Structure 1
Amino acid sequence: MKRLLTTILSLASLTSMAQNPAPAKPQTRPIALLNATVHIGNGQVIQNGVVVFDKGIITTVADATTIRLNTNEMEVINVAGKHVYPGFISPASTVGLQEIGAVRATVDKQEIGILNPNIRALIAYNTDSEIIPTIRNNGVLLTQAMPQGGTVSGSSSVMMADGWNWEDAVLKKDDGLWLNWPGYFARSFDLADFTTVVKKNERRDEVISSLRSTFADAKAYAALPSPTPMNLKLEAMRGLFSGRQNLYIRADYGKDIIEAVQFARSAGVPKVVIVGGEEAHRVAGFLKEQNIPIILSALHRLPNRDDEDVDLPYRMPAILQKAGVLVSLSYADAWWRTRNLPFLAGTAVGFGVTDREEALKMITSNTARIMGIDNLVGTLERGKQATLFVSAGDALDMRTNVVEHVFIQGKKVNLDDRHKRLYNTYKEKYQQK
């Protein structure tokens, strides 16, 4: 019996070690981070700064040499020589919607059908995902859960990287609707010889005609104050015409980007965001003129045309920034690489973005502006949510991004994750030899 009890306790211990840490508890007393280099997120830096927050809200951001604090009732954390950043924001992400790409039961990022505006990624968001703790260990504290599939995929929501369930984790519900623009060409990957196949999209005109009809119906429906009976698909599109929601359009080719924006304007949609934009450099002037922001796909890739410079994807943020376009960075479909988002910003600095603080904006304040959450997060300012972290060094550099403290709405988050557990397990194993 004693041996059986020992075995049960051992198994229970192993099981508990394999689980994600419990979500953080609410903040109970003011916290002050002292003597750090504070990166505001809007281009400003305070070299010897102090950040104070209480009940999840930032109350003070200032130069530590110019203010006096009564620290008697505060938890004081001396972070001298370290860096404080606003939480990084990962747009156009499937984190929380899929776990293992090859295991269908863990993938919940799309629904059957072509026109699914009523589908909500929000309710599929899995707060128990093993990937979520890994992204916050690199400072990614907010993610936009986006749907995929079909022509109109559904609505996305902005989620925090902590919470018991999606109700706890959601920051902004249904921030925008997602449209896969039917381009002139369609790309597919041939697994037989590992090549990308480009062919003419034969159904393009048919799909665009269907979209025009759907958006015209939705606009007419949105003009009705209380339609009876309610049409769930058209009801889900109501926010597009009032400006409450963005229309996120996935488009890569230059001509497709122009036509997609013109379609949205003619349909009466005021807020349009281009996602992907692999040829955005060809239409940068158009994007600036139309005041269209862009969420770029991953920079760490090769160009899609044989005659393009090999470093073009790396230079894309700088090209668009210099043209005056509002730029955000993402890892798009590579959900398991989302933890590397800050290093995309670091790469952008090495390939022409004017300075590190401008690149930082592409994963903080720029993204917050695009999503309409800049009144809550994206910068370290008084009155905004205390969603921030402390890094031992430059968080845009993979050599020095060592996250030591994470706070989401003022709640101190446990930084354990599967990567650390596996590292410690095998470190112990091989150090014994």
Structure 2
Amino acid sequence: MKHILTTILSLTALTGALAQNPAPARPQERPIALLGGTIHTGTGQVIPNGYITFDKGVIQGVGDATTVRLNTDQYQVIDVAGKHIYPGLISPSSLVGLQEIASVRATVDSREIGVLNPNVRALIAYDTDSEVIPTIRNNGILITQAMPLGGTVSGSSSIMHTDGWNWEDAVLKKDDGLWLNWPGYYARNFDFETFEASIKKNDKRDETLRSLQATFAEAKAYAETTPAPMPVNLRFEAMRGLFNGTQNLYVRADYAKDIIEAVRFAKAAGVPKVVIIGGEEADKAASFLKENNVPVLLSALHRLPNRQDEAVDLPYRMPGILQKAGVLVGLSYGEEWWRTRNLPFLAGTAAGFGVSDREEALKMITANTAKILGIDQQVGTLEKGKQATIVVSKGDILDMRTNVVEQAFIQGRQVNLDDKHKRLYNKFKTKYGQK
């Protein structure tokens, strides 16, 4: 019996070792130059035959390769002729790193019990060993925003790199904003037995609003009290950044009326930075959003419209509609963590359905998102002085046929692009390739 148990434990350990993700990248050891590729800077500029140099994780130069001479003794020169170079893509409002298998409770750490949880932090739940992380990295997503779920006030999100030994290594920006599920007039329900969606009146709306108003009023008074109150109120302390502009208030709202009311609530509560999440009817409130300088992080575009009388391609056209109205737009996959790897193809869809050009669509998963999240001074574009978070693709990264990521750098570190999908592909290619 002892021998059998030892054998089982050995096999389990071996299987676990074989299934491990690749080790995080080592710090950049010498200056690197990518030479000859088509550079998409994320600012709208495209450099057909460009160069980009970076050292110690910071971009040193970007420009036309014909105008520069590089000392090959100084630089590790990588020939990327015929390839395309992009800023690392950014996935906002994501559950990547917080949820692995929905049906296995031990792998889900995206929500806490309770209604008002501003002190909950997604940061410390971020799992760098998630099998999902390498799969999104392989499509060019090098930065993700880990968001909390549940309750009315869910907690704070943090912005993470898709590489690191632990959350301390991976974090780019801690506690960037607080998440609010707006109590709308109507609640959407889905019946899994009939597979039909229904909408019913939210009977608890008034009660929830009164609770929210009281909480925000008390938190604002707490933040304005000097010296800081003692003992520390953890909930109100977590909300302090909302009122001094160092944190965003991310509001999940889809219906136009809910979007307008949520923004008015935030402004009245003294919150200067509001971001709408989801925004399925944002087109009906576009002028209001523009007037109040409120950006939108749209949910997955690859879906059907919510109303029977809406055009079937309305979700595809939504980014273009908002862009033309002057609203700052970013794209996300929201709670669909496994599908997050398809984020670049949302931008590709937007480019084909109304966004002015492909470089503007690229901004919706790079520069625009970086600006919305407050990290545009560090990432989002390929410019001198910014972090060397870079993707090299065989072709157009927004096209699923040519999005073949061959190299990726996070803060100058060249990351390993192995993942579970590749391992399974190679395994079964060998199996079915045998005669």
Aligned twin of 1:89: 90
Aligned to 1:294: 296
CA apart distance, 1:282: 0.4
Structure 1 residue matching 2:375: 3-state secondary structure: coil
Give the AA of the match of 1:274: I
What secondary structure does 2:67 align onto?
Answer: coil
- Cα distance in 2 for partners of 1:8, 1:233 equals 44
1:42 CA displacement: 1.0
Pair 1:259–1:7, CA change in 2 (3 A): closer
Write the mapping of 1:46-57 to structure 2, written as runs, cut at 5 A: 46-57=47-58
TM-score by length of 1: 0.97
TM-score normalised by structure 2 residue count: 0.97
Amino acid at match of 2:199: V
Give 2:19's aligned amino acid: A
* Unaligned residue ranges in structure 1 (runs of 5+): none
**What residue number does 2:433 align with?**
431
Corresponding residue for 1:329?
331
Q: Which runs of 5+ in 2 are unaligned?
A: 1-5
- What amino acid is aligned across from residue 289 of structure 1 in structure 2? E
Query: Partner of 2:24: helix, strand, or coil?
Result: coil
The alpha-carbon deviation at position 255 of structure 1 amounts to 0.3
Aligned match of 1:364: 366
Question: Residue in 2 aligned with 1:268?
Answer: 270
Give the structure 2 partner of residue 314 of structure 1.
Answer: 316
The question of 1:178 aligning with 2:155 is answered no
Once the 2 structures are TM-superposed, how far is the Cα of residue 74 of structure 1 from its aligned partner? 1.2
- What value does the CA root-mean-square deviation take over the aligned residues? 1.5
Confirm or deny that 1:380 pairs with 2:382: yes
Write out per-residue CA displacement over residues 305-364 of structure 1, whole angstroms, 9 at most, x where no aligned residue.
010000000000000000000000000010000000000000001101010000000000
Between 1:329-338 and 1:67-76, the stretch displaced more is 67-76
Equivalent residues in 2 for 1:2-41 (5 A)? 14-41=15-42
Q: CA deviation at 1:17?
A: 2.7
Deviation of 1:16 after TM superposition, in Å, equals 3.1
Shift in Å at residue 10 of structure 1? 8.5
Equivalent positions of 1:160-171 (< 5 A) are 160-171=161-172
Q: How does 1:113-132 map to 2 (within 5 A)?
A: 113-132=114-133
State the AA in 2 paired with 1:390.
V
Partner of 1:227: 229
Partner of 1:246: 248
Inter-partner Cα distance in structure 2 for 1:30 and 1:235? 42
Q: Which residue of 2 aligns with 1:66?
A: 67
1:277 is aligned to 2:271: no
Q: Quote the Cα distance in structure 2 between the aligned partners of 1:18 and 1:232.
A: 39
User: Equivalents in 2 of 1:10, 1:84: separation in Å?
Assistant: 42
SS at match of 2:148: coil
**1:72 Cα deviation (Å)?**
1.4
CA–CA separation in structure 1 for the residues paired with 2:224 and 2:12: 60
Instruction: Give the SS at the match of 1:19.
Output: coil
Query: How far is the alpha carbon of 1:71 from its aligned partner?
Result: 2.2
Quote how far apart the aligned CAs of 1:403 are.
0.3
Matched, 1:212 2:191: no
Structure 1 residues 375 and 14, CA gap change in structure 2 (3 angstroms) = same
1:229 Cα deviation (Å)? 1.2
1:284-307 deviation digits (Å, cap 9, x = unpaired):
000000000000000000001010
What letter matches 2:43 in structure 1?
A: N
Aligned-pair identity (%): 72
d(CA) in 2 for partners of 1:292, 1:282 = 14
CA deviations 1:83-125 (Å, max 9, x no partner) are 0000000000000000001111100000000000000000000
